[in-house]
Amino acid sequence: GNSVTQMEGPVTLSEEAFLTINCTYTATGYPSLFWYVQYPGEGLQLLLKATKADDKGSNKGFEATYRKETTSFHLEKGSVQVSDSAVYFCALSDEADQGAQKLVFGQGTRLTINP
């Protein structure tokens, strides 16, 4: 079945550091890929998405590029802020997977940014 693997956390960085959170996937068809962020006590918020190979999703300084050849969708940000501290989830949706539009999530990566 489809699956998503994220880099193990937790990740701790200093403010203004460069961030990369790795995400790789296995899918039957041609999935759409998403990054969601979860702040403490809140639900998941869509951060960015890409729906086909070579698409780049971007939002709030975060970027991720859909790489079909490496089945990856790594999240990057050039300069992180304390307010970026949260749990980040990589996810895919693949209609080839029995016609469902369900999201398959990675295990989440907890990010802490120190001032």
Q: Give contact residues for another protein (rule: CB under 8 A).
A: 31-32, 34, 36, 41-46, 49, 51, 89, 93-95, 98-108
- Cα Rg for the chain, rounded, in angstroms? 14
| Residue 96: count of CB within 10 angstroms of its CB | 12
Minimum gap (Å) between residue 18 Cβ and another protein: 26
Which is nearer to another protein, 106 or 113 (by Cβ)? 106
Alpha-carbon span 80 to 100, nearest angstrom: 35
Which is nearer to another protein, 13 or 87 (by Cβ)? 87
Which is nearer to another protein, 20 or 51 (by Cβ)? 51
Minimum gap (Å) between residue 12 Cβ and another protein: 20
Structure tokens at 108: 């989440």
The alpha carbon of residue 25 and the mean position of all alpha carbons in its chain are separated, in whole angstroms, by 11
Alpha-carbon span 44 to 90, nearest angstrom: 11
Minimum gap (Å) between residue 1 Cβ and another protein: 11
Minimum gap (Å) between residue 107 Cβ and another protein: 5
